[in-house]
Amino acid sequence: MKLAQLVAQTGEHEATIQVLCHLLEAERTNVFLVKDISNEVAEQTIKIIEQYKNGTPLAYLLGSTYFYNRKFLVNENVLVPRHDTEVLVDLAEKKIIADSIIGHEYTPYRILDLCCGSGIIGISLAYLCDWLRQRHKDLQYEITAVDYSQSALELAAKNAALHHADINFVHSDLLEDVPQQFDVIVCNPPYVRTMDIGVEDKRTLKEPRIALDGGVDGLFFYRRILATAKKNLRANGMILFEIGYDQAKPLEKIALQLGYHSVKVYKDLANHDRVVTIRV
Ligand SMILES: C[S@@+](CC[C@H](N)C(=O)[O-])C[C@H]1O[C@@H](n2cnc3c(N)ncnc32)[C@H](O)[C@@H]1O
């Protein structure tokens, strides 16, 4: 069967390409070059796309997805990584690079991926730290990743092994069992208002509620984290939060009320407020 015929049958162009990449273990461009898709592969694709159309995220059906062009294992115990989170990682990278150029005040330089889920943030930053270490042998980095979900931690550890990332995984209710101080805390907490879950995209109903539910106003986790985070931040430390498009102002208010400084807001590619950075 030709690709165009299969797409016509599934009615889903992008999802069909992604499924074929997975089943054929092929690069995206090579999928377009396949002259004849076997009946077996076509049947498997149609089956997967049916489940996708019924509301299951494609990443769960394929068992993996891509973040920053790197492949990560995903299952129904973790949030499906979103491209928006790359903005958060970009900004964390800028801070880590800037601090590394100046030289680390404390050794090792400590990074915390709080609410780590599948581990995409900490693992992406581990690639940067490896790269920096190769250039400056004196620099040392320590990455910790925290989640309350044991099954998320198990999957994150598998992803870390897959990417040869050296990360300490800690089971903790936010910062409760985290005694160390960090130079950077990166956090994509649950921030969807309880009543909004599943409203924009029914597929989110298949994702773990613990990964999405940010309470009545979506700000529950920011309040809890900021209430205690000062004890976990070094003098020049920064906390970077991913936020919903309308949460910058209320989060800024919470941070300033709690005595934090230098609150900055950054936008994503769609020009929505997406990340807030806060200093002690
Ligand atoms: C929005 S997901 C982010 C996952 C991942 N960092 C990402 O960006 O794809 C939020 C994560 O917070 C975790 N979480 C929820 N409540 C928590 C708590 N009290 N303490 C630690 N982690 C928590 C969830 O299990 C989930 O993995």
For the cut 90, the answer to whether the pLDDT of residue 106 exceeds it is no
Residue of the nearest CA to atom 17 in ligand 1?
148
Name 275's bridge partners: 242, 266
Name 168's bridge partners: 144
User: 220-228 and 248-257 helices cross at what angle (nearest 10)?
Assistant: 30
Which of the four pLDDT bands, split at 50, 70 and 90, describes residue 245?
A: very high
Q: Say yes or no: 122 and 239 in one domain.
A: yes
Distance from the alpha carbon of residue 190 to the mean position of ligand 1, in angstroms: 6
Which CATH number is 114's domain given?
3.40.50.150
Q: Say yes or no: 45 and 106 in one domain.
A: no
Separation of alpha carbons 256 and 254, rounded Å: 6
Separation of alpha carbons 53 and 11, rounded Å: 10
Instruction: Give me the domain span that covers residue 268.
Output: 85-279
**Which of 66, 79, 197, 207 is the best mutation target for the ligand 1 pocket, counting ligand atoms within 8 Å of the beta carbon and taking the most?**
79
Separation of alpha carbons 230 and 212, rounded Å: 25
Residue 149 Cβ inside 6 Å of ligand 1? The answer reads: yes
Q: Say yes or no: 122 and 246 in one domain.
A: yes
Residue 120 Cβ inside 6 Å of ligand 1? The answer reads: yes
Number of neighbouring beta carbons within 10 Å of residue 166 = 11
At 51 the pLDDT is 96
Separation of alpha carbons 248 and 265, rounded Å: 7
Does the residue 71 lie in any domain? no
Residue 122 Cβ inside 6 Å of ligand 1? The answer reads: no
Separation of alpha carbons 200 and 245, rounded Å: 13
At 174 the pLDDT is 98
Bridge pairing between strands 64-67 and 167-171: unpaired
Over residues 63-77, the pLDDT tens digits come to: 999 999 999 999 999
Number of neighbouring beta carbons within 10 Å of residue 118 = 27
Number of neighbouring beta carbons within 10 Å of residue 146 = 25
Hey, is 104 helix, strand or coil? coil
- Percentage, residues of the chain above pLDDT 70: 100
How many structural domains does the chain have?
A: 2
* Strands, E assignment, 74-154: 109-114, 141-147
How far is residue 77 CA from its own chain's centroid? 14
Hey, is 27 helix, strand or coil? coil
Over residues 34-85, the pLDDT tens digits come to: 999 999 999 999 999 999 999 999 999 999 999 999 999 999 999 999 999 9
Q: Rounded to two decimals, what is the model's pTM?
A: 0.96
Which of the four pLDDT bands, split at 50, 70 and 90, describes residue 103?
A: confident
Q: Say yes or no: 166 and 211 in one domain.
A: yes
Does the residue 60 lie in any domain? no
- Nearest CA to 220 out of 198, 201, 240, 244 is that of 244
Does the residue 164 lie in any domain? yes
Distance from the alpha carbon of residue 187 to the mean position of ligand 1, in angstroms: 8
For the cut 90, the answer to whether the pLDDT of residue 261 exceeds it is no
- Tell me, what DSSP letter sits at residue 43? H
How far is residue 139 CA from its own chain's centroid? 25
Does the residue 209 lie in any domain? yes
Over residues 108-118, the pLDDT tens digits come to: 999 999 999 99
Does the residue 14 lie in any domain? yes
